[in-house]
Chains A and B, each alone.
Chain A
């Protein structure tokens, strides 16, 4: 257990730039862009004599009905979680390249000979890399998103308070706690959903003698083209798109957070049945997203990913090209 913790730490040391600094910088850029947008709006407003907010806005809030207040709250909630969108994409790309290099880079620079001189099994090594990709990286990304989101909320409230709106009243309308819970609850789901991609990428990383990226991308793509060309899916009475969506995309892009939304169609509509569909947070709430656990696509993916990881462990042992 102690060894495993240190293996995770080792991965973090090596990939501090991708795991920690990439989300932090993305969050920072996100906040700076927003501040610039606010300043632009203020400058334009001042130049053209527009009245943003002011007494009117405060009056509007005072006179707003319950439904309108909900809309304002929803707007603030969106502002708060919108940083996750950007950070999530960056994290997905980081995880993709991390997995491709995880079992290849140390073979290329021969440092595998140092790691293999320590009493650590190949299984723990590969599993520590799996956990880094599916747990450590997302946890850091989510924590950074939460901080960025809260800062964003505070900035918006401060700006509006300059226009005479009561900032505390405004923040009271948002649901920061709920947003935090929603984001945190997404991590286990992401981990499960990403397993087939992580498995495939790490399998290529462990198996390829050179150019794991090329193998990982070209393999599924060429297979997809062949399937399309010969209409093989017709044998199973499935459209060709099924293969691209459920094999090619699952192998490559499931590391991108939120990619699962494209898969269980009707999920977005289902949210309309929820009581407060006005609020975008309900889309991300575990009550809603954990419906994915009932999807065979998720569990088949986990099984395939596990098999690929077993292959990665095996190749980690037998490849002696360094």
Chain B
């Protein structure tokens, strides 16, 4: 498979903080990657570097181009939705479609209009008259009509209600995503995207602490529900995390032996949010 993004020793320093600390990774084509981390961990900086919106040290190759110097070319192949509030308030729906149709070589107007027809947006409506959910519908209609190879989403559903959030990811999966496209998404609503991700990256204090595909998450991590009498034995196996539910303890293990765990209790695949909380323990302390 060919790599969409390869990063080597990516480093970005703001005045007194290290936003990215020697990060290296590789993202293949046809994946949906969740880039997940606590506030201020460097997610947005990483995305900005990929999009050529910021300077950085190290090597970064996106679709064979260097985002620092070849941004204009790169943006023909890359789309991004930064967050809900970035469409200019004076823009009308009609103007947005006209403009993108005429400046973007890979934009499909008919497709965009078909997406818009499914919403309540009217051609003369201005962004400032729309709710957050409607703005993201417009933005998504514009972006999904562009035949790009990489789509970057930075907190695309922040502040939306659950109907819009579900619809957002559903449209992406049903009408947009295919094996030639790659999506990178950051969000705090991990539960909602868990089932659509193919790869998972955890970032903390500018470092990648986990970079894996979802299948190996199930192989590597395991959650065991252990009754009180076996809890001490479980603790000796050095779990990542422990929490109590209904008088039983739930332990999260990284790379522990399956057979041993199954002797102690019911073994499950951990949810991404539990894994996240366990990995990020002590971040804000």
Contacts and interface: CB of A to CB of B under 8 A. Distances in A.
B75 A113 contact: no
B131 to A, nearest CB: 17
B104 A14 contact: no
A320 B88 contact: no
Nearest to A124: B72
Contacts of B267: none
A119 interface: yes
B172 interface: no
A117 B48 CA distance: 11
Contacts of A6: 98-99, 102-103
B100 interface: yes
A242 interface: no
A110 B135 CA distance: 14
Contact of A114 (B48, B82, B102): B82
Interface residues on B, range: 20 to 34
B26 interface: no
A165 B86 CA distance: 62
Q: Which interface class (under 10, 10 to 19, 20 to 34, 35 or more) fits A?
A: 20 to 34
A117 B75 contact: yes
B88 A118 contact: no
B53 interface: yes
Interface in A50-96: none
Interface string B59-71: 0000000000001
B224 interface: no
Given A13-B95, A320-B48, A119 B54 contact: no
Interface of B: 48, 51, 53-55, 71-76, 78-82, 85-92, 95, 98-100, 102-105, 139
Contacts of A109: 85-86, 88-89
Interface of A is mostly: helix
A26 to B, nearest CB: 22
Interface of A: 2-3, 6-7, 9-10, 13-14, 106, 109-121, 318, 320
A111 B72 contact: no
B99 A10 contact: yes
B72 A113 contact: no
A146 B75 CA distance: 43
Contacts of A121: 71-72
B99 A320 contact: no
Given A6-B99, A10-B99, A111 B55 contact: no
Q: Which of A9, A111, A117 has the most CB atoms of chain B within a 10 A radius of its CB?
A: A117
Closest 7 CB pairs of A and B: A111-B88, A113-B82, A119-B75, A119-B76, A320-B54, A6-B102, A121-B72
27 contacts: A2-B102, A2-B103, A3-B103, A7-B103, A10-B95, A10-B99, A13-B90, A13-B91, A13-B92, A110-B85, A111-B89, A114-B87, A114-B88, A115-B88, A116-B53, A117-B78, A117-B82, A118-B103, A118-B104, A119-B76, A119-B105, A120-B103, A121-B71, A121-B72, A318-B55, A320-B53, A320-B54
